[in-house]
């Protein structure tokens, strides 16, 4: 009898051990994500390969998206591996959202403006005089919560088979002039060929009286080199990181809008992850995105503005009366966007209500 009892006891313990071991192995599973960016892989806030310590000592590599996600997954017992590609290496930049849709890539960091034709609801965060007026923190919170965030999630899941995770309020978009003479009036812009990213950005340039040339970031330098552009709507960091300073020596302030990075993951891939990993993935990405929007990018821009001034770049700030003319000229972009879809119209309504309550 005793022998039989011991036999069952040992069997039970072995069975329990197998269950625990199996559970442990399941938790240690590695998930591989193919991740393409619409720029170089050393883009600052991602810290995929570059340690920004020398540039901004107050920040560390551990604050970048990739290490944060890996660390959060490891706490749950999972391993996340990212195969990272720069723009155009795996799929062409303008087709990247389509590639995400069909599962050619698993993750994408890019600009919604590039894909306005597929998901017009995506680039609402490029609206003029929003984050630049209200502030980055309040604007990011608004875009990443409530109905505004829900509209973007629903639009991308339905039209692009993608889960919209979050956005980063990145570079403050100013006018960079080819040469050393800044744009000082609307008359200066008439007929000028100005690069824009697409979507809202292109319409804004058009409303300012210029001739918009819609190019992806990687196409700008050759266009400047060939004299195809008279200037571009871009950010001070482009002067150094993309070497636009070779041709652009003048900047017009203030910024009209803040360029946004968006972060997506293929819907099928996302829902193939365990529920606890999905949850921590979104939470971690949002924590990172708010930090990058409100702390990293302002500090990075300030540092690069100092660099540009030392290199002789001219910074011109529009006087109040001229700025009012520019603001008035671009107001029709709101109506244009509202007519793109019923959900775009709802986004405009929500945004206007937000601005009315929060304008400084």
d(CA 254, CA 318): 7
Residue 269, pLDDT > 80, answer: yes
CA-closest candidate to residue 113, choices 230, 1, 7, 197: 197
CA distances from 351 to 155, 186, 258 (A): 17, 26, 15
Distance from C-alpha of 277 to C-alpha of 271, rounded to nearest angstrom = 10
| Residue pLDDT, tens place only, 301-325 | 999 999 999 999 999 999 999 999 9
User: What pLDDT does residue 285 have?
Assistant: 97
pLDDT tens digits, residue range 36-68? 998 877 776 787 655 555 677 788 878 899 999
Domain assignments of the chain as residue spans, ordered by start: 20-358
Model pLDDT, residue 52: 55
The mean pLDDT value of the chain amounts to: 89
The alpha carbon of 181 is separated from its chain's Cα centroid by a whole number of angstroms, namely: 30
254 prior amide bond cis, ω within 30: yes
Report the pLDDT value the prediction gives residue 319, as an integer from 0 to 100: 97
Please classify residue 141 by burial: count the beta carbons closer than 10 Å to its beta carbon, then call 0-12 exposed, 13-18 middle and 19+ buried.
middle
**pLDDT for res 119:** 97
Model confidence pLDDT, tens digit, residues 163-218:
999 999 998 999 999 999 999 999 999 999 999 988 999 999 999 999 999 888 88
Class of residue 211 by CB neighbours under 10 A (exposed 0-12, middle 13-18, buried 19+): middle
The mean pLDDT value for 155-160 works out to 98
3-class secondary structure per residue, 135-203:
CHHHHHHHHCCHHHHHHHHHHHHHHHCEEEEEEEEEEEEEEEEEECCCCCCHHHHCCCEEEECCHHHHH
**Confidence (pLDDT) at 16:** 43
pLDDT tens per residue across span 64-122:
999 999 999 999 999 999 999 988 899 998 899 999 999 999 999 999 999 999 999 99
Mean pLDDT confidence for 25-46? 80
In this prediction, residue 197 carries a pLDDT of: 87
Q: 20-358 belongs to which CATH class?
A: alpha beta
pLDDT digits (tens, 9 = 90+) for 230-247: 999 998 989 998 999 999
- CA atoms of 76 and 67, how far apart (whole Å): 15
pLDDT at 11: 47
Closest CA to 88 of 213, 202, 267, 219: 219
Query: For position 48, what pLDDT does the model report?
Result: 60
Q: Answer yes or no: is pLDDT of 275 > 90.
A: yes
Taking each helix axis from N to C end, the angle separating 136-143 and 275-291, rounded to the nearest 10 degrees, works out to 150
Which residues sit opposite 261 in a β-bridge?
Answer: 168
Quickly state the pLDDT bin for 360 (edges 50, 70, 90).
low
One-character DSSP codes across 274-327: -HHHHHHHHHHHHHHHHHIIIIIHHHHHHHHHHHHHHTT-EEEE--HHHHHHHH
For position 53, what pLDDT does the model report?
Answer: 55
């Amino acid at each position: 009898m005793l022998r039989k009892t011991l036999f069952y006891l040992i069997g039970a313990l072995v069975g329990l051990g197998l269950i625990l071991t199996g559970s442990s192995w399941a938790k240690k599973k590695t998930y591989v994500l193919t991740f393409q960016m619409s720029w170089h892989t050393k883009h600052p806030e991602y810290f995929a390969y570059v340690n920004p310590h020398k540039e901004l000592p107050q920040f560390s590599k551990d604050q970048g998206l990739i290490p944060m996600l890996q660390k959060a997954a490891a706490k749950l017992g999972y391993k996340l591996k990212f195969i990272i590609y720069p723009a155009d290496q795996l799929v062409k930049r303008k087709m990247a959202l389509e590639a995400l849709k069909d599962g050619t890539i698993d993750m994408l960091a890019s600009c919604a403006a590039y894909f306005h034709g597929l998901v017009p609801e995506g680039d609402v965060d490029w609206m003029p005089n929003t984050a630049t007026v209200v502030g980055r923190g309040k604007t990011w919170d608004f875009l990443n919560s409530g109905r505004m965030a829900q509209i973007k999630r629903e639009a991308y899941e339905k039209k692009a088979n993608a889960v919209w995770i979050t956005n980063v309020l990145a570079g403050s978009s100013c006018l960079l002039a080819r040469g050393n003479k800044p744009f000082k009036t609307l008359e200066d812009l008439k007929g000028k060929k100005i690069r824009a990213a697409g979507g809202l950005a292109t319409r804004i340039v058009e409303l300012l009286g210029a001739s918009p040339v819609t190019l992806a970031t990687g196409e700008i330098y050759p266009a400047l080199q060939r004299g195809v552009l008279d200037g571009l709507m871009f950010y001070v960091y482009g002067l150094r990181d993309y070497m636009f300073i070779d041709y652009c020596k003048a900047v017009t302030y203030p910024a009209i809008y803040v360029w946004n990075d968006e972060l997506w993951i293929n819907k099928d891939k996302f829902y193939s992850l365990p529920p606890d990993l999905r949850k921590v993935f979104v939470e971690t990405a949002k924590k990172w995105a708010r930090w990058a929007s409100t702390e990293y990018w302002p500090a990075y821009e300030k540092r690069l503005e100092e660099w540009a001034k030392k290199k002789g770049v001219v910074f011109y700030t529009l006087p109040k009366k001229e700025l009012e003319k520019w603001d008035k000229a671009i107001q029709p972009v709101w109506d244009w966007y509202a007519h793109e879809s019923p959900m775009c119209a709802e986004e405009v309504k929500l945004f206007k209500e937000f601005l009315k309550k929060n304008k400084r």
